[in-house]
């Protein structure tokens, strides 16, 4: 019986000496982070937009091997009929691969300079 009382006293003494350490750890919670704007939390810093590669096949919706004004207008909404006609070398009302290449080269965004 004396052993049980001694063991119980040792456990009680250890618990009493350890209690302040555990209490200090629980009280030292990290401060809450300041609220961020929802968009700032969702997106990293604004990066320059990557150019989108558009191919002849993508533009040629009906797969007839030529591009009409209506098909190209879906990818270049500000395109006018006059501007379309300017690069239509054979004046058939459609763009071939070469005509589309000429149009794309003329309307490519300027490369940024360093």
**113 inside domain:** no
Q: What tokens appear for 41 in the block?
A: 């939390």
C-alpha span between 42 and 86 (Å, rounded) = 44
If one counts the domains in the chain, the total is: 1
Instruction: Count other Cβ atoms within 10 Å, centred on residue 114.
Output: 3
**85 inside domain:** yes
**76 inside domain:** yes
**95 inside domain:** yes
Q: What is the pLDDT of residue 5?
A: 47
Q: Write the pLDDT tens digit of every residue in 54-67.
A: 899 999 999 999 99
Q: What tokens appear for 105 in the block?
A: 């080269």
Q: What is the pLDDT of residue 50?
A: 72
Mean pLDDT of all residues in 98-106? 92
**35 inside domain:** no
Q: What is the pLDDT of residue 3?
A: 60
Per the prediction, the chain carries an average pLDDT of 75
**94, 68 in Cβ contact below 8 A?**
yes
What global pTM score does this model have? 0.53
**26 inside domain:** no
Question: What CATH number did the domain enclosing 66 receive?
Answer: 1.10.238.10
**59, 68 in Cβ contact below 8 A?**
no
Q: Is the pLDDT of residue 17 over 90?
A: no
> If we measure between CA atoms, which residue out of 113, 61, 71, 114 comes closest to residue 103?
71
C-alpha span between 100 and 56 (Å, rounded) = 8
**45 inside domain:** no
Host domain of residue 80: 56-106
């Amino acid at each position: 019986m004396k052993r049980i009382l001694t063991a119980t006293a040792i456990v009680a003494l250890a618990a009493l000496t350890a209690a302040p350490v555990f209490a200090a750890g629980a009280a030292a919670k990290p401060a809450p982070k300041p609220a961020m704007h929802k968009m700032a939390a969702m997106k990293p810093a604004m990066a320059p937009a990557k150019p989108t590669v558009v191919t002849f096949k993508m533009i040629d919706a009906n797969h007839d091997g030529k591009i009409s004004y209506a098909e190209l207008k879906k990818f270049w909404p500000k395109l006018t009929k006059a501007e379309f006609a300017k690069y239509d070398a054979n004046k058939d009302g459609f763009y071939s691969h070469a005509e589309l290449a000429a149009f794309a080269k003329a309307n490519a965004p300027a490369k940024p300079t360093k």
